Amino acid sequence: MTAHVKPKALDNFKARDFRMLIDGVWADGAGSPLERIAPGHGIVVSRYPAGTTADAERAIAAARKAFDEGPWPNMTGAERSNILLKAADLIAARADDLAFLDCIESGKPISQAKAELAGAADIWRYAAALARDLHGESYNTLGEGTLGVVLREAIGVVSIITPWNFPFLIVSQKLPFALAAGCTTVVKPSELTSGSTLVLGEILIEAGVPSGVVNIVTGTGPEVGAPMTTHPDVDMVSFTGSTGVGRLTMANAAQTLKKVSLELGGKNPQIVFPDANLDEFIDAAVFGAYFNAGECCNAGSRLILHKSIADEVTARVAELARKVKVGDPLDPTTQVGAIITPQHLEKIGAYVDGAAKAGASVALGGAALDLGLGQFMAPTILSGVTPDMPVAREEVFGPVLSVLTFETTEEAIRIANAIDYGLSAGVWSRDFDTCLTIGRKVRAGTVWMNTFMDGASELPFGGYRQSGLGRELGRHAVEDYTETKTLNMHMGARTGWWMPR
């Protein structure tokens, strides 16, 4: 590992001050601003308004009025599509600025942030296409004189709450689809990484989104997030974050029976059989475990290896992981950046220490790294992990890889499913029957076969069990933000036995 050096790009850097967007107007908060200290550089890089419940209520009122009285829900699909396409072009044009904000606020590597921005722009373009494809159904098989039509209408006001680990990418998995359907929105980004979402507000105004359609309120969960989940004028909540907060969100929304979409945690296995292409798997294992410093709901944090290859595979994964470059997030060659907060770094370390005390062996890493500024964690591998250990069952959300073993296919499936989560999984084998068996039997929203953490705008994303409710992306993503309405039409004179004659 090389020593951390403060980049020249930050020598004369001045913290950036942001404002909230409510009803088309940029607004300050009532209290002292929230300061964001860069996790990889140890300096204040952003200040956001500390929004209050009153700010959230003003934003909800603006979104309600924009839906009930404004033009957005009544535009044609083509009109909304054109605005979303313009937004996508503007996102691409400002990608460097957006990536820089995500990099310094979250600690992710700049090269990764730029790749995420390219993916986000593609999602906006895909959502724009779906805005023109949204349609209902008709039934002319209900008998003479009867016609049934099923409409899809925008659900109304949507509260969108996003996490800190993929600030721009995750808001892009929600907001453009809600807009494509004709909804109006209130967005609360994480108070740790609000910068790029607030710049998105500028982009959407420039693209032609009317006032009140997209409102962005910064602040904490209790002050801003809670009223967004309970307010009676909100029709739907779309939340990405921890399973614990997801449960609270669902309970809050139940007070008014709102529709809820949740993308929550994961403890994702990669199951490896002896006939797998190990060269390809080793690379995927290291990528899956340490991408975004493991702060990823989709991280491949559990290796479930056949006993006959476990020692060899663990050694080879450790050999490649030693070559992973941990360091300055602004360095284009960095592969693993900083951990989001000092408190989260301590939490990761506690999982590692607990596993070691329970009998696991630290095959690689296991401790924080002192690189001069910010907080960093060494890529870590724990071998000898058993399915009952917390590190094998709970989401660590850090660069920690747990190695478990199996002897039969049935045992591998049992280990994979013996947790509360079901977001994703991977299987590695040259035998198609083996891959298909795992794909059918493992309870997860996505199962990768001889690859890991691939994705596309066209493919749905979401989880089973406590990994969430609903799906994002894919051709049905816009439909999630709609209600269906039945029109049962009778043509001509109608008679009935109860009518007087």
Handedness of CA 19, 21, 23, 25 (dihedral sign): positive
What span, in angstroms and rounded, lies between the C-alpha atoms of 452 and 298?
9
What span, in angstroms and rounded, lies between the C-alpha atoms of 339 and 306?
32
Per-position DSSP letters for 104-155, written without gaps between them: HHH---HHHHHHHHHHHHHHHHHHHHHHTT---EEE--S-TTEEEEEEEEE-
Residues 179/214, Cβ–Cβ less than 8 Å: yes
Per-position DSSP letters for 243-269, written without gaps between them: HHHHHHHHHHHHTTT-EEEEE-----E
Q: Where are the alpha helices (DSSP H) in 132-234?
A: 167-172, 175-181, 195-207, 226-230
Catalytic residue among 263, 295, 395, 472: 263
Instruction: Report, in this order, helix, strand and coil percent for the chain, each rounded to 5.
Output: 40, 20, 40
Contacts of 476 (CB under 8 A, 6+ apart): 460
Residue with tokens 């850090």: 398
Active site (annotated) includes residue 183 = no
- Judged by DSSP in three states, 68 sits in helix
Kind plus residue range of the DSSP H or E element containing 348: helix 342-357
Tokens encoding 80: 């909304």
- 44-48 vs 214-216, strand pairing mode: unpaired
Contacts of 150 (CB under 8 A, 6+ apart): 136, 137, 138, 139, 484, 485, 486, 487
| Residue of 264, 269, 276 lying closest to 299 (CA atoms) | 269
168, burial (CB in 10 Å: exposed 0-12, middle 13-18, buried 19+) = buried
Active site (annotated) includes residue 297 = yes
Catalytic residue among 103, 183, 297, 435: 297
What span, in angstroms and rounded, lies between the C-alpha atoms of 228 and 481?
16
| Residue of 269, 102, 242, 70 lying closest to 161 (CA atoms) | 242
Residues 264/468, Cβ–Cβ less than 8 Å: yes
What span, in angstroms and rounded, lies between the C-alpha atoms of 178 and 158?
8
Catalytic residues: 263, 297
